[in-house]
Amino acid sequence: MIQITEKSIKMLLSIVLLCNIIHLNAQQRERQVVQQPEKQIEAWVTNPDRSALFSKQPETIAFSNANSTRRAVSPIVIDEQSTMQTIDGFGFALTGGSAELMMKMSRAERTKLIRELFATDGNNIGVSYIRLTIGASDLNSFVFSYNDLPDGETDFPLAKFDLGQDKKDVIPVMKEILEVSPEILIVASPWSAPVWMKTNGRVKAGTLKPECYDVYARYFVKYIQEMKKEGITIDAVTIQNEPINANNTPSMRINAAQQTEFIKNNLGPALKAANLSTKIVLFDHNLDRPDYALTVLRDPQAAQYVDGTGYHHYGGDMSAMTLVHNAYPDKHLYFTEQMVTETPGSSTIAIVPQVKRMIIDVTQNWSRNVILWNLAADPNNDPHTDDGGCPFCQGPVTLDGDKVTRNIAYYVIAHASKFVRPGSVRIGSTNKGDMSVYLTNDEEQPDVVRVAAIKNNDALPNVAFRTPDGKIVLIVANDTYATNTFRVQYKGKFANIRLAPGAVGTYVWDIE
């Protein structure tokens, strides 16, 4: 017979109570795990039928542990540990013509437009990079430089240098932009030197006189210093817009050998002597001429002053940027110009080809930025210069007085600029041609796992970034005719996302 003491009974009761507490705590933890919400994905979409134009989607997208074996296209696997270039920003060129139209708006409407373009809150699109023109471009009402003189005169001391016309439009607009976005980066490009410095004495074509290399370098320095006095910091300059194109008015030719000479003997030393940190970006022309940049960069005396190379895509293939990156990985790549247009009043928007080309392909090929041409034009695509000015250069916005129409270039940039903020880093994501690993159960031995490496031939075009504020941004272009869903894999979890054929989506979620 077992004798149970009062002390033993109390001990047993204590043990039972402790077990109940442990069980209850375990149940509570289970409920907390079950009830913990999955990571939410915010989606901003543009549909080809214009039913959504960079619109935040109301439905909730969540990651889960469920990995469906059914798929329409290859999943996009996000690899946060694979990092590439830092992003400086996305934006437009603020030409004199754009600024002229903006200055004709009422102050209230101009302020509203600038907030929409450059602020990041609400539905504003957060443009973070601006290109200015040093003097006139072909999208000004008329041609001018900052040192125009009567025929036969020269001004080697630059005593008559004056920002002139820019004080009436570009500078006032830039000051208003800086009130909204004080950290915005600015690159500036000349279309031509003052005519008295040129071999042909004309605003179109010609090249820089050898005896004017020094004064032209000081012209750049003067421009940077005078803009700084206006409160405008020039982060970088290109040597010459489209240096092998003499068809614009204004324009000027400068070949690779001349640019090498100018950088190493004149502009580089002039910026250094003036204690200016402004970056030098060479070339600033089409992707069909990677040899130009490689020619300049192989000269170590020139290369020491060069931050990187600028490109346009009116010719050539985007892979040319990767070629230059591979040859000189310590130098940066910039995408400094591209015109993107559509038919006014169109009921559809061909957003996929342009986002794929201008955002996905450009950044996948190492560019730190994307700048489209040009911020604004009127309904007739004016203003522009005669005899070489662009009569079909539609802006991201069309301005008709205070009336604002948003065009395709606006939405292309919006899909990146709002969320891929300066300082973001491109990270790995599955793209067409990449190899993926698939696990399947053996048909005869279900408990045996088989492994297969398969090349992705159908992954949707995409690019991914990690932002400074702790988010992942994924931009996807559905270039298929029938696919309505794709799958994203991130840190072992999965999300199935609906995206209509011909649509583009920007997807944002918090880093774990």
Residues belonging to the active site: 242, 337
For residues 281 and 187, is the Cβ–Cβ distance under 8 A? yes
Element (H, E) at 397: strand 397-400
∠ CA 212-217-223, nearest 5°, is: 120
* 193 token code pair: 């030197």
∠ CA 493-499-501, nearest 5°, is: 140
Which residues on neighbouring strands pair with residue 237, listed in sequence order?
Answer: 188, 280
For residues 231 and 170, is the Cβ–Cβ distance under 8 A? no
Report CA 115 to chain centroid distance, whole Å: 19
For residues 410 and 397, is the Cβ–Cβ distance under 8 A? yes
The sheet carrying 403-406 orders its strands as: 376-377, 397-400, 403-406
How far apart are alpha carbons 440 and 449 in whole angstroms? 6
Task: Assign 501 to helix, strand or coil.
Answer: coil
Query: At 11, which amino acid appears?
Result: M
3-state helix, strand, coil in the chain (%, to 5): 30, 25, 45
Query: At 241, which amino acid appears?
Result: N
Query: At 17, which amino acid appears?
Result: L
Q: CA torsion, points 38, 435, 501, 394, in degrees to nearest 10?
A: 100
Q: CA torsion, points 271, 276, 281, 284, in degrees to nearest 10?
A: -80
How far apart are alpha carbons 261 and 208 in whole angstroms? 12
Closest CA to 220 of 166, 175, 278: 278
For residues 276 and 300, is the Cβ–Cβ distance under 8 A? no
Cβ atoms within 10 Å, residue 112: 14
Dihedrals phi, psi of 151, to nearest 5 degrees: -50, 135
How far apart are alpha carbons 176 and 171 in whole angstroms? 9
